[in-house]
Amino acid sequence: MGTVILGTGSCLPKKVVTNLDLEKIVDTSDEWIRTRTGIETRRVGGAGEKTYQIASAAAHEALIMSGLRVDEIDLLIVGTISSHMLMPSCACFVQKEIGAFNAFAYDVNAACSGFLYGLDIGDKQIRADHDAKVLVIGAETLSSRLNWQDRNTCIVFGDGAGAAVLGYSAEEHREVVGVNYFSDGRLWELLYMHNSPSTNPELRVEDNPGVHIVMEGREVFKHAVKAMEDAVLGLLEKTGIAIGDIDLVIPHQANMRILNKVLERLELPKEKVVLNVMKYGNTSAASIPIALDETNRADKLKRGDLVLFCAFGGGFTWGATLLRW
């Protein structure tokens, strides 16, 4: 008994951008992108598909599945680093859009770990108040935060949103079994995004290249593999669960090579791992809830299944959650 996911939803922008489309923008090739990242296509937002709009569409789907009314939601969290405004939060825009006026709403800035950090906050809220209902969303339009001349980054990321409604279940063996979360601000320079230039000259940051993602790909790769592996092993140790007992793994869809390395090190068979990075690229905070929703709607989750989530992102932020479905 404990926190359970009552409903999931997702929303992907309509426009599909292929690797061949990117060949026309930067000096790259379909072959290079496929072999280095596994990515074949990604979605890019258009009119009516701002971060809060796709987040709201995903939330709507999750609410329908949960069977709850929108006015039953007490807390609304959005993991995002690409809201169209700095203030109000994306979560407040979602609140307005879907009419969740009994909730308090805020964003979590944890880059690609944003959804899992939100899930953890939601779980703790529900542990404190068993009647609480929490809507957790991961949503990004990173296409608005990319330097489209930078072939290191513009090939990797994509847009999308996913959502989960959390509540309490008194049923035996359904719960968040354990979590293992970390961050390390010392490594920020390997993956970051500036703000717009300060209007106070005293506070101006030197060498601000603009509001877009800057990444040391090779270094990020190494840290991501090690961090996710360690977070999962630490979580298994904490919970006393063996890797072989896990039924399904839903990892952050960073890229195929990172995921292959993590699976190899953890000795996890590919059949147990949800992979959709080929279709959507790295959608940051949205990647786990999109993959979760696709898995859930394909009826691949059974009551009592042990589901492992793990993520890594800018900050650095990383960690893992184990949930009994």
Contacting residues toward ligand COA, per CB under 6 A: 28, 32, 36-37, 112, 151-152, 155-156, 215, 217-218, 220-221, 224, 254-255, 257-258, 282, 312-313
**Is the CB of 261 or the CB of 297 nearer to ligand COA?**
261
Two structure tokens written together for 189: 């320079």
**Is the CB of 26 or the CB of 211 nearer to ligand COA?**
26
CA distance 133 to 78: 15
Least gap, CB of 262 to ligand COA (angstroms): 11
200 a catalytic residue:
no
112 a catalytic residue:
yes
CA distance 71 to 320: 30
Distances (CA, A) of 144 to 42, 159, 172, 276, 317: 14, 9, 44, 22, 22
Do the beta carbons of residue 307 and residue 232 sit within 8 Å?
Answer: no
Least gap, CB of 205 to ligand COA (angstroms): 22
CA distance 102 to 132: 11
Which amino acid appears at position 196 of this protein? Answer: S
**Is the CB of 177 or the CB of 285 nearer to ligand COA?**
285
**Is the CB of 23 or the CB of 97 nearer to ligand COA?**
23
DSSP designation for 281: -
Least gap, CB of 257 to ligand COA (angstroms): 6
CA distance 57 to 45: 13
Catalytic residue of the set 90, 92, 112, 154: 112
Catalytic residue of the set 19, 180, 255, 282: 282
Closest residue to ligand COA in the complex (CB): 217
310 a catalytic residue:
no
Active site amino acids: 112, 252, 282
